[in-house]
Amino acid sequence: MEPLDSANRPRLLVVDDEAALRDVLARYFVHNNFDVRTAADAGQARALIAAAVPDLVLVDVNMPGESGLSLARWLRETHPRVGLVMLTGAADPVDRIVGLEVGADDYVTKPFETRELLARLRNLLRRLTSGPTAAPAPNPRRARFGLCELDLDARRLLRCDDGSEVPLSATEFDLLALFARHPNRPLNRDQIMSHGHNRSWDALDRSIDLRVMRLRRKIEPNPDKPRVLKTVRSVGYMYVPDGE
């Protein structure tokens, strides 16, 4: 995805089978300076993405035919740098959990306030179009994470054996970058959540645990016995360079 400049409007794709909701969201986001396209199902979304890759995709989980989760999984595998937000039912936390497991950057439950959705998308867009914002640290611009190496400038995760790129969402990159700047230091869930979402951690929110689990599958030689992203009991997680 090419970096955005001030002259360009962010490209948003809204995928939802409810025509009325698509129309409302399209009008609202066009009014707020987005370039908006809409799709009624996964097939239309794939065709639009093939024609022009968007910066952000808003996907409803429950759609007839191919589900939003299936589309999200495909999108994350084929376009890992696209921002992905899932629309889920408020009464079904399973959808939110599975959405995070397939690599969604964030989720919003229905019904929702359009202003909150706008804030979430703008926050995600800032993270997509800017590098790490923390104060300079002595660690290099590349950090070793088990089987992989994180390039902080290019925002890419590369396998150490063959240099191939490992698909990484914006939220996953932010999480690894946070760990890279604080090696051998336990970080609690509130610190991690505040960094990634600008919101406080809810004791019932499993998003951090799910994202760490997903990252372990990508970087750990044995995800069931993590040596790089370690669990610190009653605290949170700690990055141990090279599994020391």
Average pLDDT over residues 120-145: 69
In the chain, where does DSSP find H-type helix? 19-31, 42-51, 68-78, 93-101, 114-129, 170-181, 189-197, 207-219
Residue 214 per-residue DSSP state = H
For the cut 50, the answer to whether the pLDDT of residue 155 exceeds it is yes
SS3 state at 57: strand
* Pairing relationship of beta strands 236-239 and 11-15 according to DSSP bridges: unpaired
Threshold 0.85, pTM exceeds: no
H or E segment to which residue 59 belongs: strand 56-60
* Pairing relationship of beta strands 165-166 and 156-159 according to DSSP bridges: antiparallel
99 within 8 A of 107, measured Cβ to Cβ = yes
List strands edge to edge, sheet with 236-239.
187-188, 236-239, 229-232
* Pairing relationship of beta strands 148-151 and 142-145 according to DSSP bridges: antiparallel
d(CA 6, CA 223): 41
**For residue 201, what pLDDT band results from cuts at 50, 70 and 90?**
very low
Q: What percent of the chain has pLDDT over 90?
A: 45
Q: In this structure, which amino acid lies at residue 108?
A: V
d(CA 63, CA 32): 26
